[in-house]
Structure formats: structure tokens, C-alpha cells
Amino acid sequence: MNDIEIIQPLVRGNIRELSPYSTARDEYQGELGVFLDANESPYDNGWNRYPDPHQKLLKDKISQIKGIQSQNLFLGNGSDEAIDLMFRIFCTPGKDNAVSIDPSYGMYQVAAATNDIEFRKVALGNDFSLPQEQLLQHCDQNTKLMFICSPNNPSGNAFSQEEILEVADKFKGILVVDEAYIDFSEKGSMISSIASHPRIVVLQTLSKAWGLAGLRIGLAIAHPYIISLMSMVKYPYNLSCAVQKIALEALENGIEDKVECIKREREAMAQKLKSIACVEEIYPSDANFLLVKTRDADSIYNYLIDKGIIVRNRNKVKLCGNCLRISIGLPEENQQLISYLNQYE
Ligand SMILES: *Cc1c(COP(=O)(O)O)cnc(C)c1O
């Protein structure tokens, strides 16, 4: 079986037969000319033309940064768009299901619910380890998607490529590996596995290490056939001219220095938190945040709010009782947090 024959049976019938909306400018690729094809305003104010629906320049730039081919890359309105597209492309509402590690990113479950897809949560091990056997045991004929977030939000740990591949090799559906925090991790990206594993979809984002959360740009890296399906189902103009232009400029500046600073701050913060009375445990992190077990998360959360510091209270989340998730900020912001926690009684 070739790769497309492996993927195709997982695609919803109506999507397999879809012919995409052809935009006015799909037929003419030139830059110059008199454009009377798209009912745009002819008065040039910088924004009167529709954006490039294929995002060619931005895709070329990001592909170069990631060391991939642009045919392996999809760009969406945040990772959220890519997550939603996974359900719309692969899952039949009311019939199919998706499996995910738990706790993890809340958006998978929201997207499952809005698409009327059963969502099966599989608890991580007590040390937040990957429950390989249980994940596979929760799959059946109708399991089209599996979500593994690595580094995982909110636990902060990354799984090894080997253990993710062991699950990928046994799972018959589409394995979505969410690598939103991969730039902060020592564990390598699964991008290197997509050539040998046509059913793996890697999600990344410009929202975290790249500092572009306000622009809303999410990446999916996968087999060209999956990318072509995503491009077909997305809104034609999902990234505006402004977003494409600003992102291209922002990507000229590397992020290594900032990532190194955040990683250094993360380790420094972990050290300082250790000696604070109300802190019980700091979990190892491959991300730009720390999950911290405290004596009383609700009360410390409210105390910090009073001081004008907002952290994420994960007290109600599975395996995260009394835990706060704390993003790594600027050194002076981190110091403020430490000072207030030291004053907490
Ligand atoms: C922050 C985050 C994202 C990023 O979402 P965007 O829509 O791209 O901003 C994706 N996945 C996880 C697990 C995250 O924590």
C-alpha cells in the first residue's frame, strides 16, 4: 500500500470527494496586471486586495526555518483551526471517536464536542508518563484520532520520540502530536518521523517561543495528502494580508536568545520555588511554564490575584490537585512572584 492508500480510508467520504472553492486568483499567478476578477475595490489603500489563500511566501519562510518542504506545511488561524480541521476531515459526527491523554490541552475536547465526536480520556501515569498500553486499549474501529501533547500542557513534560513512535506504530488512525512547546524542550520534534509515518500530524505554533500569539498562526506538518485535505477544507482566506505580512517580518529575527533566557529562568525559578514554604513539588518542565504543587492552590491563587499576579489554577484538573501552572515571565516579573510567595502565610 502506498501512503495515500494508507490515509484515504480514514478520511470522511464527503471530504474525500470534495472539490475546493477555487478563488478568483487561482487561475492567474502573476503579480502584475489589471485585476478585475475578484470584485475588490480598485482604490489602493494597502489592503484592498484579497490575501494569498496559499500563503506562499510565509509557507516558504516557515518551511525553510523548520527544514521541511512547503508541501508538508499547513498554516491555520492558530493551532485551534488545525485541531478543528482534524475532526472535520477524519471524524463522522455521532459515530467516530478520538482518544487523548489526560490531563492535556482543553481545546481537543472542545473541538470534539462541537463536532459531536466522542472523546476518550486516558489518564497519564502518576509521574505524568505516557500510558502507551491504555491509550491503545481505548481505541476501537471508530477511533480516527489520537492526541498526544508533548511537551504536555499542563504537566510540562515531554515524551521521548521512541515511546511516541511505539504508539504510532500500533495505532491505526491519525496520531496528532501537539508540539506547541517544542522549542523549549531537549527532546526532538516528531517532524523527522512524518516521512516514515504518513498518519502522524505534528502541530506547532508561532504563539509561544516565537512570541506571536496575537497574530494567530498555527502550523500542521504532515504528509502532503493530509496537507492538501486541510487546505481544501479551510476557509480560503484564513490568514489575512496583515497577518502574513507581519509574520514574514517577525520571522527574520531568530528566537534562540529568548528561548535560552526563558529556559535559564525556568531552572532558576524551579530552584527558588523549592525553598518556599507553601510549595510542595515542582514538576520537571520541557516548556515555558512550571507546574507547581502547593499547600492550597485556591487560596494561593486568590492571594496572587490580590497582588496583581495572575497564574493558572489547575487544582480541579486530573492529577493536578493543588497545582498552579506558572508561565515563565521576565526576570523581574518572576522575582515579584517569588517575593509574594515568600510572604504568603
Ligand atoms: C498554547 C497552546 C497551543 C497554541 O495554540 P494557538 O491556537 O496556536 O495559539 C497549542 N497547543 C497547546 C497544547 C498549547 O498549550
Compute the distance from residue 338 Cα to the ligand 1 centre, in Å.
26
Residue 345 has pLDDT above 90, yes or no: no
Using most ligand atoms within 8 A of CB, pick from 109, 148, 207 the residue to mutate for ligand 1.
Answer: 207
Among 323, 326, 322, 324, CA closest to 335 = 326
Nearest to 136 by CA among 124, 118, 122, 152: 122
What residue owns the CA closest to ligand 1's atom 15?
A: 153
Q: What residue owns the CA closest to ligand 1's atom 1?
A: 180
d(CA 337, CA 184): 21
Residue 25: pLDDT band with limits 50, 70, 90: confident
Average pLDDT, the chain: 96
Per residue in 188-203, pLDDT (tens digit) is 999 999 999 999 999 9
Q: Which atom of ligand 1 is nearest to the CA of 206?
A: 8
pLDDT above 80: residue 30: no
pLDDT at 313 over 90: yes
pLDDT digits (tens, 9 = 90+) for 65-108: 999 999 999 999 999 999 999 999 999 999 999 999 999 999 99
pLDDT of residue 24: 75
Ligand 1 center to 7 CA (angstroms): 25
**Residue list, ligand 1 pocket, CB within 6 Å:** 78-80, 105, 149, 153, 178, 180, 205, 207-208, 213, 218
Confidence of residue 278 (pLDDT cuts 50, 70, 90): very high
If you measure from the C-alpha of residue 27 to the centroid of ligand 1, how many angstroms do you get, rounded to a whole number? 35
Q: What is the mean pLDDT of residues 207-220?
A: 98
Helix axes 331-343, 297-306, angle to 10 degrees: 120
* Gap from CA of 132 to ligand 1 centroid (Å): 23
Cα four-point dihedral sign 189, 195, 200, 205: positive
Measured CA to CA, the distance from residue 136 to residue 132 in angstroms comes to 7
**Looking at ligand 1, which atom is closest to the CA of residue 218?**
8
Q: What is the mean pLDDT of residues 115-126?
A: 97
Of ligand 1's listed atoms, the one at least distance from the Cα of 81 is 7
pLDDT in tens, 230-268: 999 999 999 999 999 999 999 999 999 999 999 999 999
In the reported structure, the alpha carbon of residue 204 is separated from the centroid of ligand 1 by a whole-number distance in angstroms of 8
